[in-house]
């Protein structure tokens, strides 16, 4: 049951999901602090070292939450060594072209209870599960900065 501003209560699961979705969307910020790259400037191609990918894959927990691409930590751990050169190439292409696969732009969003009255929507915070591969690429980029 979720309480709405007029004092009523919502019990229908679809209506509750829509109310939580609207709340999560209202607190989402679509701003980013990433500097804009001048396309007229020519940059050296970025190349990721294989050892960096190998190291990142070894750090993935086996029970990490799966994102919208359904690639789990287990899959990355079991096939890691065979995937390393392909992942390095994928990361290089993504970084050098300034694009990422469409699945990496998606997230599974879950409302997590923060405390207080469970019937108040504002007592939940949205948590996003994103692609493990995208997270690994973010770690690689951060390591080079």
The DSSP element (H or E) to which 25 belongs, if any, is helix 13-27
Residue 2 has pLDDT above 70, yes or no: no
Q: Is the pLDDT of residue 136 over 60?
A: yes
Confidence (pLDDT) at 74: 84
Question: pTM surpassing 0.85?
Answer: no
Specify the pLDDT at position 145: 62
**Token code pair at residue 98:** 């300034």
Residue range 12-57, pLDDT digits in tens: 778 877 877 777 777 766 655 555 555 555 567 778 888 888 888 8
- In this predicted structure, what is the pLDDT of residue 31? 55
Tell me how far apart the alpha carbons of residues 72 and 29 are, in angstroms, rounded to a whole number. 27
How does pLDDT run across 89-109, given as a tens digit for each residue? 998 888 888 888 888 888 888
pLDDT attached to residue 45? 76
Q: How far is CA 18 from CA 77, 107, 134, in A?
A: 36, 17, 28
């Amino acid at each position: 049951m979720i309480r709405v501003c007029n004092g009523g209560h919502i019990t229908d699961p679809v209506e509750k999901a829509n109310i939580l979705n609207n709340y999560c969307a209202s607190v989402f910020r679509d701003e980013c602090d990433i500097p804009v790259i001048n396309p007229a400037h020519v940059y050296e191609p970025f190349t990721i070292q294989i050892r960096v990918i190998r190291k990142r894959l070894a750090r993935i927990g086996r029970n990490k939450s799966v994102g919208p691409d359904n690639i789990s930590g287990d899959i990355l751990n079991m096939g890691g060594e065979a995937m390393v050169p392909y992942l390095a190439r994928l990361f290089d292409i993504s970084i050098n072209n300034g694009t990422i696969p469409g699945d990496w732009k998606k997230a599974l969003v879950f409302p997590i209870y923060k405390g207080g009255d469970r019937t108040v929507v504002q007592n939940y915070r949205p948590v996003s599960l994103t692609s493990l591969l995208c997270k690994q690429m973010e770690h690689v980029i951060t390591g080079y900065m």
